[in-house]
A and B are shown apart, each in its own frame.
Chain A
Amino acid sequence: MTQASQSRLSLGNVIAQMATPLSAVLIALMLLAAGLAATFQLEQLARIEKLRQTTAQAQILASGIAAPLAFDDDVALQEYLNALKADPQIVAVAAYDGKGDFAGGFARPPARLPEGAEAARREAPSSALAVTVPVKQGSTQLGSVYLMSTLDSLSRRLTRYLGIAVIVIAASVLIVMLTASYSSLRRAHQTLQAEIAGRQQAEEALRQSQKMEAMGQLTGGVAHDFNNLLMVASGGLDLMERTSDPVRLEKLKAGIRQAVDRGAKLTRQLLAFSRRTPLNPEVIDLRERIRGMDALLERSLGESIEVAMHLPADLWPVEVDASELEVAILNIALNARDAMPRGGTIVIEGANLPGNGDRPDQVQIAVTDSGAGIAPDLVNKIFEPFYTTKEVGQGTGLGLSQVYGFVRASDGKVLVDSIVGRGTTITLRLPRSLLPAKVSDRLTEPVAAFGKPRILLVEDDDTVADTVGGMLMALGYEAERVDNGDEALRRLEGNVDFSLILSDMIMPGEVSGMELALKIRQLWPHLGTMLMTGYSAAAASAAKEGIPLLAKPFTIQDLSVQLMTALDQSGQGSA
């Protein structure tokens, strides 16, 4: 802010502070006082002027009556004096002879004539409009003239000042009114500002409470889901201890596996929602991917729902995170199922959308149900995080928001077309990739290690270390575990007899997993490193450095494939 505008601001403030009713009244009073002073001044001037006129008249009279006065010509004298009667403002005229005796004159009541010239002279100065002028001929004084006149009548003078009075009073009233309205406006403004501040606070509080409500819904939903999963898992384990029937054991294991998978999916969805999961884009064939989901969909949707797929063979490839795509399709399908409580058909259609001028080529996947539909005013809300129409515990409100997050992150679009009572179509539009689709290398069975490569496992959590260590041994690797990065470096300084370092990212100690990987790359460039983490922010930094990453939780299959890849790259796997 410049100095000038500051000073203008402060001037404005000063004026605003001054514009109080009190100051307005003061200004109005000052105006009135100025008006009165001006009137008084005018009165004074008029009085002086009148006195001058009166004196002149008296002198003319004195000159005229010199001879009649000197020679006692009463008739002529009275004629001279009576001539002044024509002026209504002259209220008294008297002539006195050389001895000071009264010689002639007249007076209009209530004015009265002085007894003699001496009395007239004495009276003259006290009443300012009375003058006494000597009657002289040559240097001889023959007598004196007394003349008293009035100013204009009060009503006349009031009429003259009425104009000024009206202007002054109107201005005063105007000032008072303006200031009153200004100050009331200012009060209203202050009230409004206070109101705005209050509303902003209330809004803030509302937002906070909405957040709390969302948290409540989330924790309610997530806790409920997790409790169910944990129930399945712990119940399954209990039952496994009590049976030795291999078929039953297999069934229990499958149940536990499913529960754990769902838990993992749930956390992945949460992370996707928070947009912190690293997208792992790859060029895929949509037809193959979605078709591969049929079993998953059937299992998830239940028996009353049929899934029909119309996916042309010439669908263009897209570059997306394949697992996110599957989750998105699953989420849409689950919503479709919930919209059709009495069962129905879900149609998944694929189509190529050739681009035009400003739109690139896109591939469209539309999922249509014949369910209840979505009311138009809710269409905008379905992608909001935590928005759910389901009971607490039935849904997290994160399903469709995952869809939205996935599509936006893949540079695509999601469209909703719904008719209440008829059904809903949710359409995903994903940009076409010009690269050929990678052939799916999904392995259903873990790949055992060739030979017996030594793996240095760096993990601070004993349980995780045991599990991962067990997995490694099951895959035919030889594993040695240390607690943290510092220890790992010391171990490596002693002897570099490992094919790969598998390290957690976040550990106690001075060297984090990331730093350890960078240091290893610097000191032993031929030594492969792989990081594991459940924390997405850390995962992003690893991806930036190009270090292979295993996202927790991972299956033994994931581990085996990733290890094979990493060992291949470092040239150790085939040794």
Chain B
Amino acid sequence: MHDLIPPLCKRRARRLRWAALLSLSVLAGRAPAAGPANSLSTLERAIQANFLFKFAPFVEWPPGAFSATDRNFIICVVGEDPFGTLLTDVVRGQKMVGRPVVVRRTGNESGNTGCHILFAGASTDPGYAPFSTTEGQPILTVADKSAGPTGAMIEFVRQSGRVRFQINDGAARAHGLRISSKLLGLAIAVDRK
């Protein structure tokens, strides 16, 4: 179809906005490729916060994952919190499975009871093993591959300057979580064991 004209102007404007933010962060002297957690650009953190929340609709928790006493959908952040208010802004007013979404920051404490999604940030603590306590619990664990602990079910990676993710579907299944094939399709890598 020769006459197809995507609304380039609009789309270009959106791209330019993202690109501007990215280059701004690069100019600010923070290397996007590697480095400590705090080396993440604000834009990347914003995207990750957004993704973190958006994973939820594509994941199915077992019925026992939702407590009868706590009526919230809880996203826990352990270790260093890279998002700050970004995540709180994203989830504000949102609901998941009919429950208001709240963010609980536990710092280095591993009090992950009642969490549905657990994001593990970086930590200087040598005994930092945030996923050890989630073993056997239906908690979706997420981490930044470059700035967080290993072993999360979903790990953020950086590819061509964009935030992407890879999924360990086997681990998710082992914890009673079912990840939608749509999400799996979008992942750059899926470990199905």
A-side residues, CB < 8 A to B, are: 64, 66-68, 70-73, 76, 78, 85, 94, 101-102, 104-109, 113, 115, 136-140, 142
Interface string of B93-115 (1 = CB under 8 A from A): 01111100000000000000000
Q: What is the interface size of chain B, counting residues whose CB is below 8 A from a CB of the partner? A: 27
Q: Which of A66, A105, A109 makes the CB contact (< 8 A) with B182?
A: A66
Q: Which residues of the partner chain A approach B180 to less than 8 Å between Cβ atoms?
A: 67, 137
Minimum C-beta distance from B48 to chain A (A): 11
Assess whether A140 is in contact with B6, with CB atoms less than 8 Å apart.
Answer: no
Q: Which residues of the partner chain A approach B10 to less than 8 Å between Cβ atoms?
A: 102, 113, 115
Assess whether B182 is in contact with A137, with CB atoms less than 8 Å apart.
Answer: yes
Assess whether B5 is in contact with A68, with CB atoms less than 8 Å apart.
Answer: no
A-B residue pairs, 7 tightest by C-beta: A137-B57, A67-B182, A140-B57, A138-B57, A70-B54, A67-B186, A106-B4
Q: Which residues of the partner chain B approach A72 to less than 8 Å between Cβ atoms?
A: 47, 162
Q: Which residues of the partner chain A approach B56 to less than 8 Å between Cβ atoms?
A: 138, 140
Assess whether B5 is in contact with A106, with CB atoms less than 8 Å apart.
Answer: yes
Q: Kindly state whether residue B1 has any CB partner on chain A within 8 Å.
A: yes
- Kindly report which residue of chain B lies nearest to residue A81, judged by CB atoms: B6
Assess whether B5 is in contact with A107, with CB atoms less than 8 Å apart.
Answer: yes
Q: Which of A67, A101, A109 makes the CB contact (< 8 A) with B3?
A: A109
Q: Which residues of the partner chain A approach B14 to less than 8 Å between Cβ atoms?
A: 101-102
> Interface on chain A toward B: helix, strand, loop, or mixed SS?
mixed
Q: Which residues of the partner chain A approach B11 to less than 8 Å between Cβ atoms?
A: 102, 104
Q: Which residues of the partner chain B approach A67 to less than 8 Å between Cβ atoms?
A: 58, 180, 182-183, 185-186
**Cα distance A200–B69 in the bound complex, in angstroms:** 116
Q: Can you name 13 A-B residue pairings with CB atoms under 8 Å?
A: A67-B186, A70-B58, A73-B186, A102-B10, A105-B6, A108-B3, A115-B10, A137-B180, A138-B58, A138-B97, A140-B56, A140-B94, A142-B57
Q: Kindly state whether residue B51 has any CB partner on chain A within 8 Å.
A: yes
* Contacts A67-B186, A76-B186, A138-B97; A107 near B7 (Cβ below 8 A): yes
Minimum C-beta distance from A111 to chain B (A): 10
B-side residues, CB < 8 A to A, are: 1, 3-7, 10-11, 14, 47, 51, 54, 56-58, 94-98, 162, 165, 180, 182-183, 185-186
**Cα distance A293–B57 in the bound complex, in angstroms:** 148
- List 4 extra interface pairs beyond A102-B11, A138-B57, CB under 8 A: A67-B182, A71-B183, A76-B186, A85-B4
- Kindly report which residue of chain B lies nearest to residue A78, judged by CB atoms: B6
Assess whether A85 is in contact with B1, with CB atoms less than 8 Å apart.
Answer: yes
Assess whether B186 is in contact with A105, with CB atoms less than 8 Å apart.
Answer: no
Assess whether A71 is in contact with B54, with CB atoms less than 8 Å apart.
Answer: yes
Q: Which residues of the partner chain A approach B96 to less than 8 Å between Cβ atoms?
A: 138-140
**Cα distance A72–B51 in the bound complex, in angstroms:** 9
Assess whether A108 is in contact with B1, with CB atoms less than 8 Å apart.
Answer: yes
**Cα distance A85–B6 in the bound complex, in angstroms:** 12
Minimum C-beta distance from B125 to chain A (A): 31
**Cα distance A138–B96 in the bound complex, in angstroms:** 9
**Cα distance A102–B14 in the bound complex, in angstroms:** 9
**Cα distance A248–B186 in the bound complex, in angstroms:** 165
Minimum C-beta distance from B97 to chain A (A): 7
Minimum C-beta distance from B55 to chain A (A): 9
Q: Which residues of the partner chain A approach B98 to less than 8 Å between Cβ atoms?
A: 139
Q: Which residues of the partner chain B approach A136 to less than 8 Å between Cβ atoms?
A: 57
**Cα distance A331–B10 in the bound complex, in angstroms:** 131
Assess whether B1 is in contact with A68, with CB atoms less than 8 Å apart.
Answer: no
- Kindly report which residue of chain B lies nearest to residue A76, judged by CB atoms: B186
Q: Which residues of the partner chain B approach A115 to less than 8 Å between Cβ atoms?
A: 10
* Contacts A70-B54, A102-B14, A138-B97; A108 near B4 (Cβ below 8 A): yes
- Kindly report which residue of chain B lies nearest to residue A63, judged by CB atoms: B182
Assess whether A113 is in contact with B182, with CB atoms less than 8 Å apart.
Answer: no
Q: Which of B6, B183, B185 makes the CB contact (< 8 A) with A106?
A: B6
- Kindly report which residue of chain A lies nearest to residue B15, judged by CB atoms: A74
Q: Which residues of the partner chain A approach B162 to less than 8 Å between Cβ atoms?
A: 72
**Cα distance A64–B10 in the bound complex, in angstroms:** 23
Minimum C-beta distance from B12 to chain A (A): 11
Assess whether B7 is in contact with A113, with CB atoms less than 8 Å apart.
Answer: yes
**Cα distance A107–B11 in the bound complex, in angstroms:** 13
**Cα distance A107–B162 in the bound complex, in angstroms:** 27
- Kindly report which residue of chain B lies nearest to residue A98, judged by CB atoms: B54
Minimum C-beta distance from B71 to chain A (A): 15
Residue from the set A78, A105, A106, A140 with the largest chain B CB neighbour count within 10 Å:
A140
Q: Which residues of the partner chain B approach A94 to less than 8 Å between Cβ atoms?
A: 7
Minimum C-beta distance from A569 to chain B (A): 135
Minimum C-beta distance from A226 to chain B (A): 119
**Cα distance A109–B1 in the bound complex, in angstroms:** 11
Assess whether B7 is in contact with A102, with CB atoms less than 8 Å apart.
Answer: yes
Q: Which residues of the partner chain B approach A107 to less than 8 Å between Cβ atoms?
A: 4-7
